[in-house]
């Protein structure tokens, strides 16, 4: 699947901002199942300083400083990506979950150490006895890791209700567990906390999910949204992406922006402003499938 992706964010301030610094995770990352074909960032006012780099986790990141006084900031990311569907694994044939941490420790390769760093608590995914107990209902002794992870994903989808008004960015995961309500970010953090409570490596993935209009209606421009899911380490099967909000394996309709320990590592836009007073934010996201050209179809045939 090939997509044109547009992510536009507008900040409107009640008072002028004299200077601001921002960190952006808005360029989709390249990985084994995703090819970034083109990307661009448009920022207004034009930044005085801009630096493009990679963060600690290998995600594209952009650092900005805007020194022009402004009451409005517009940031638009445009990209074209190609996403390949994941391979097929037999969940029942993956390694038992309770062997994974020891296996990573004993082998100690670079890839093992990279995976192992995602097995521990992070600021948004503090484990607890309650979360460990909830996870253990799926992770019975010796159960294959992917089979258990699918079961946990299904239970979160069944037991928790999507509610965009119930939580905020800073809502602790134990409160989400108590409320049984939340959004995709909350469900991703919840599943991560459950997995890490059992010392299983798992990472937070931010990105976009293709949405479809109801039958007989056109899709509204800007109706797509940022999304979040998890990726769990399954030894020989590698990293497998699971979407607890929708109870599915993340496939070729999931576009990856970045991954890290939790939302705090890879929030799309972060920063500090001097001045500005109160502000409001407008966000519009479009994920548009691109049909292959006739030349490409002929080449494939």
Q: Show the DSSP H helices in the chain as ranges.
A: 100-107, 110-116, 129-136, 145-159, 173-179, 184-197, 263-266, 294-300
Residue whose pair of structure tokens reads 């010392």 in the numeric block: 199
pLDDT band of residue 114 (cuts 50, 70, 90) is very high
pLDDT band of residue 164 (cuts 50, 70, 90) is confident
Angle at 296 between CA 294 and CA 301, to 5 degrees: 95
Q: What pLDDT was estimated at residue 108?
A: 83
Q: Are 98 and 238 in contact (CB under 8 A)?
A: no
Q: Are 137 and 155 in contact (CB under 8 A)?
A: yes
Query: Distances from the Cα of 269 to the Cαs of 64, 93, 208, 217, 235, in angstroms?
Result: 11, 40, 15, 32, 33
* Structural domains of the chain, with CATH: 2-83+266-291 (2.60.40.2250), 91-251 (3.10.620.30)
Q: Are 16 and 70 in contact (CB under 8 A)?
A: yes
Q: Are 292 and 238 in contact (CB under 8 A)?
A: no
Q: What pLDDT was estimated at residue 295?
A: 44
| Whole-number Å distance between alpha carbons of 244 and 234 | 17
Encode pLDDT of 26-84 as tens digits: 999 999 999 999 999 999 999 999 999 999 999 999 999 999 999 999 999 999 999 99
């Amino acid at each position: 699947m090939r997509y044109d992706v547009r992510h536009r964010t507008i900040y409107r301030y009640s008072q002028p901002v004299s200077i601001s610094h921002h960190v952006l995770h808005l360029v989709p990352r390249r990985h084994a199942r995703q090819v970034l074909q083109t990307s661009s960032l448009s920022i207004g006012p034009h930044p005085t300083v801009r630096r493009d780099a990679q963060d600690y986790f290998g995600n594209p990141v952009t650092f900005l400083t805007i020194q022009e006084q402004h009451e409005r900031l517009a940031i638009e990311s445009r990209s074209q990506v190609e996403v390949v569907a994941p391979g097929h694994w037999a969940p029942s044939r993956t390694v038992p979950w309770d062997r994974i941490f020891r296996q990573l420790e004993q082998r100690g390769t670079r890839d093992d150490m990279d995976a192992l760093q995602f097995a521990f608590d992070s600021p948004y995914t503090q484990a607890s006895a309650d979360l460990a107990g909830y996870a253990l209902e799926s992770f019975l002794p010796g159960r294959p890791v992917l089979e258990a992870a699918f079961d946990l994903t299904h239970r979160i989808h069944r037991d928790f209700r999507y509610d965009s008004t119930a939580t905020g960015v800073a809502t602790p995961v134990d409160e989400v567990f108590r409320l049984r309500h939340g959004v995709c970010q909350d469900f991703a953090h919840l599943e991560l906390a459950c997995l890490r409570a059992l010392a299983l490596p798992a990472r937070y993935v931010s990105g976009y999910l293709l949405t479809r209009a109801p039958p007989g209606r056109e899709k509204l421009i800007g109706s797509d949204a940022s999304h979040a899911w998890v990726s769990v380490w399954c030894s020989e099967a590698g990293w497998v992406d699971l979407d607890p909000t929708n109870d599915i394996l993340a496939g070729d309709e999931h576009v990856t922006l970045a991954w890290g320990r939790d939302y705090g590592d890879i929030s799309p836009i972060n920063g500090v402003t001097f001045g500005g007073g109160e502000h409001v934010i407008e966000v519009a996201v479009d994920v548009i499938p691109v049909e292959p050209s006739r030349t490409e179809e002929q080449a494939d045939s």
